[in-house]
Amino acid sequence: MTELGDQGVQILAISPDPNEKSQELARKLHARYRFLTDQDLAVTRRYGLLHAHGGHKGQDVARPTTVVLDRRGVVRWLELADSIQIRPDPIDVARAVRQLPQ
């Protein structure tokens, strides 16, 4: 996904876990790939992406989702998983980004 960053696309990875990624890893990956923490899952809830008690210990987690927004903040591509095993293919995400109006 880092090639997307090279194309001037900002990638924001959001999870409730603040310890998931260290600052060092975030710096190494790319300036345009940032890890955000949604600790109380407020944003996840507002986006309708809460998976209640979906964590291994029964805690609330987010359902894996990828959203592509254009420059006006409008949703242009959306993939919600109905299974914890599914992650969107980066190729599909890259294609969705390339098809955004410039």
Partner 1 sequence: MIRYWPALVSVLLSIAAIAGYATLLRVPAIRNHPELYLLVFAAAAGIAGAATWRAARWPNFVALGLSVVLLILGGYFNFVLAKIPPAAAVLRVGEPAPDFTLPDASGAAVSLASFRERTPVVLVFYRGYW
Q: Which residues here bind partner 1, judged by CB under 8 A?
A: 1, 4, 8-17, 20-23, 25-26, 32, 34-38, 43-44, 46-51, 54-57, 59, 61-78, 81-91, 93, 97, 100
List of long-range contacts for 83-87, beta carbons under 8 Å, 24+ apart? 84/54
Q: Are strands 65-69 and 33-37 parallel, antiparallel or unpaired?
A: unpaired
Shortest Cβ distance from residue 45 to partner 1 (Å)? Answer: 9
Residues 69, 90: Cα–Cα separation, whole Å: 15
Six-digit token pair at 5? 């960053």
Shortest Cβ distance from residue 52 to partner 1 (Å)? Answer: 8
